[in-house]
A = this chain, B = another copy of it.
Amino acid sequence: VLTSAESDRLRVVLVSSRNPLNIGAAARAMANFGFHHLRVVHPYDVAFREARSAVDAESVLQAAEEFDQVTEAVADCALVVGTTAGTRRTRQQQLHRLEAAATIIQQHLQSGSKVALLFGSEKIGLSNQDLSHCQLLLRIPTQTEHPSMNLGQAVAIVLYELVRQPGEGAAAPPVPQIPLENQPEKPLATAEERERLTILLLEVLALSGYARHPSPEEKVRGLMRHLPLTQSDVHHWLGLLRHILWKLKAVPPPLSD
């Protein structure tokens, strides 16, 4: 069970939501389950704060933060989780059922990390680019023939799973000790720190003429995403890459042949 300090580390991030009613419904579910931090990335209707379905959730809506980019909306989070109906195949990240993903999210919140939980638009969900920011994907166990959920309902179910008490359920399974990383004493890097590393690496690669790959950015993000980098790791890797970058900048431009 999450303490209020732990719940307070969760960021619910709605990306490109079309319907203010759904944003209101998400805010209401957050109020119901004790989560406070809503972030909205370029909503179609900027009047979302007036959503009428936000009964009892005015404070969550009023405090909601708006962002232009997913990158900024997840910058301070150490774990970024995307929700998906699971119909689009992606082999980049682990896809967990909600039941299992919730355990991982809880452990991160309990260990002091901020966690971003991304929900895509009602129509198309999260784009591949949105997904490229996620280290983990979760899917609500819907029927294969009816995979797509209403946004407000999806948010409510995920938040419920985070607060439900396993002990009161049927199986009363004990919470396992899942090692989260190899250096539990060192804090994991935030999305912003990872991003700094990714951008520097992309710069190095650009200078190296790495252009064969159709989308180097997606590829590099894919490689970086699942590495459990600590803040100290990022610091050291940045130092190494800066050296390489500095040297590469001394390379003369290629002859125009």
Given the interface pairs A135-B180, A205-B240, A247-B248, the reply to whether A150 lies near B28 with Cβ below 8 Å is yes
**Complex partner residue of A244 from B32, B100, B143, B208, CB under 8 angstroms:** B208
Copies of the chain in the assembly: 2
Encode A96-121 as 1/0 by CB contact (under 8 A) with B. 11111011101000000000000000
A205 and B243 contact, CB distance less than 8 A: yes
Starting from the known contacts A92-B182, A175-B176, A220-B240, 8 additional A-B residue pairs (CB-CB under 8 Å) come to: A93-B182, A99-B170, A141-B160, A160-B160, A171-B174, A205-B240, A247-B251, A250-B252
Verify if A39 is at the interface (C-beta below 8 Å from B): no
Residues of A within 8 A of B (CB): 25, 28-29, 31-34, 53, 55-57, 91-94, 96-100, 102-104, 106, 135-136, 140-143, 146-150, 152-153, 156-157, 160-161, 163-184, 201, 204-205, 207-210, 219-220, 223, 225-229, 233, 236-237, 240, 243-244, 246-248, 250-252
